[in-house]
Amino acid sequence: MVALGFGANVGDAAHTIARAVREIETRGIGRRVAVSSLWRTPPWGRLDQPDFLNACALYETSLAPRALLVALKRIEADLGRTAGERWGPRALDIDILLYGDERFDDPDLVIPHRELLHRAFVLAPLAEICGDRQIVGMKIADALMRVDRAGLSIMHRGDGWIGREGGTTAMGETIELICKDGVKISAYRARPDGKPKGGMVVLQEIFGVNHHIRAVADKYAAAGYLAIAPALFDRVEKGVELGYDMEDRPRAMDLRGRTKIDETLTDVAAAIEAAKAGGNVGVVGYCWGGTLAYAAAARLPGVTAAVGYYGGGIVGMAAERPRTPLMLHFGERDKHIPLSDVEKIRAAQPEVPVFVYAADHGFNCDERESYDAAAAAEAELRTMEFFAAELK
């Protein structure tokens, strides 16, 4: 029995890891015996990079350790792994953690993995599937209790996230929404484990329903909400999924400029209807989506509560009174939204809690250079507590 560790933080990490777990069996490398939950973990070594997704799995294999290593490296390469700096961002990392009771200590292969007992991002998922296994006289579950576990969270509990070969992972799926005017748009839907405690509409930035927005939806699903992220560019161009570099920004701005607010809110209304299957509906939006979250709170029925992050267009509609409880987050270093605009919003809607952080625009997005972990964590805590209180 071998134990393997999987990690990634580049691209659609959840999809890549799920595919890697399946590929090992598909290619005849080993027979899958157990798979952990999918974990979100803080970066190790180099901290200025997005969080990782991590998982562990047990396999039965007939391959010798070195042959297994070669096969796993081939999967890494096939799924996008390229040479990079130590502890840097990874499209995919597969480590041999354990190989039965055998020990190896070669320059390019050490089993058990030399850092195994010190890394919470490995121990946490591994403890789920073989917590009683002993390494150097210590159970894996006990070793986990001895390391710093700060920042670890389960993104999807159980093994359903690995999905099926050729299909989507069980964390989320693309669905079709039919809007009131008959237009059909796509949306990303992420379901919670068990009965939802509410519905959550996640409104995109100007970069489409990309990896980050899907990860946000997944996080709300992990928190117990039925999350729906509508593709708000579908009326202009379908399948838009952009990154955060300067090359994609002009296209993002052009797409945003070609949308019409009334049509976009019709799309948001369709997402709200879909989210009602989870119960009372919250709306959370980022950047352009933050502005739309305010508009939804002021203009659309079916919204129980809303939260907007750094919505630059909010000041232009601040005279409109929200119909539902609303919370807003801004960054004091935001070059797109001056603090004078934030003060105008406060003056126009004094009952709305407005929080300002020592951060830049986009501080919640861990794929942007402007990501601020402290501000994101504080805003997320306030947001989750707000929705928990309002959607019950």
Q: Residue 194: what pLDDT?
A: 82
Segments forming the whole domain that contains residue 27: 2-162
pLDDT band for position 171 (50/70/90)? low
pLDDT band for position 168 (50/70/90)? very low
Q: Residue 163: what pLDDT?
A: 66
Q: Residue 102: what pLDDT?
A: 86
Do 250 and 203 lie in one domain? The reply is yes
Do 23 and 152 lie in one domain? The reply is yes
pLDDT band for position 262 (50/70/90)? very high
Kindly state the average pLDDT of the residues 262-268.
98
Do 142 and 188 lie in one domain? The reply is no
Active-site residue flag, 156: no
Q: Residue 154: what pLDDT?
A: 83
Q: How many structural domains comprise the chain?
A: 2
294 or 173, higher pLDDT: 294
Q: Residue 223: what pLDDT?
A: 87
Active-site residue flag, 361: yes
Kindly state the average pLDDT of the residues 1-15.
89
288: CATH: 3.40.50.1820
Q: For 41-61, what is each residue's pLDDT tens digit? A: 888 767 777 888 999 999 999
Spot the catalytic one: 12, 234, 334, 360. Answer: 334
Kindly state the average pLDDT of the residues 114-123.
86
Do 92 and 122 lie in one domain? The reply is yes
Do 97 and 45 lie in one domain? The reply is yes
Which of 55-69, 84-98, 163-177 shows the lowest mean pLDDT across its residues?
Answer: 163-177
Do 124 and 210 lie in one domain? The reply is no
Do 242 and 315 lie in one domain? The reply is yes
Which of 97-111, 172-186, 252-266, 314-328 shows the lowest mean pLDDT across its residues?
Answer: 97-111
Q: Residue 13: what pLDDT?
A: 84
Q: For 23-35, what is each residue's pLDDT tens digit? A: 998 888 999 999 9
Spot the catalytic one: 15, 212, 329, 361. Answer: 361
Do 189 and 135 lie in one domain? The reply is no
Kindly state the average pLDDT of the residues 257-282.
98
Among 142, 162, 182, the domain-final residue is 162
Among 104, 135, 162, the domain-final residue is 162
Among 162, 182, 213, the domain-final residue is 162
Residue 167 lies in a domain: no
Spot the catalytic one: 287, 329, 341, 365. Answer: 287
Do 149 and 236 lie in one domain? The reply is no
Q: For 362-390, what is each residue's pLDDT tens digit? A: 999 988 889 998 999 999 999 999 999 99
Q: Residue 85: what pLDDT?
A: 59
Do 182 and 146 lie in one domain? The reply is no
Do 177 and 156 lie in one domain? The reply is no
pLDDT band for position 311 (50/70/90)? very high
Kindly state the average pLDDT of the residues 315-327.
97
153 or 285, higher pLDDT: 285
Do 244 and 157 lie in one domain? The reply is no
Q: Residue 215: what pLDDT?
A: 86
Percent of the chain with pLDDT over 70: 96
47: CATH: 3.30.70.560
SS3 assignment for the chain: CEEEEEEECCCCHHHHHHHHHHHHHHCCCCEEEEECCEEEECCCCCCCCCCEEEEEEEEECCCCHHHHHHHHHHHHHHCCCCCCCCCCCCCCEEEEEEECCCCEEECCEEECCCCHHHCHHHHHHHHHHHCCCEECCEEHHHHHHCCCCCCCEEEECCCHHHCCCCCCCCCEEEEEEECCCCCEEEEEEECCCCCCCCEEEEECCCCECCHHHHHHHHHHHHCCCEEEEECCCCCCCCCCECCCCCCCHHHHHHHHHCCCHHHHHHHHHHHHHHHHHHCCEEEEEECHHHHHHHHHHHHCCCCCEEEEECCCCHHHHCCCCCCCCEEEEEECCCCCCCHHHHHHHHHHCCCCCEEEECCCCCCCCCCCCCCCHHHHHHHHHHHHHHHHHHCC
* Selection from 58-62, 131-135, 172-176, 287-291 with the highest mean pLDDT: 287-291
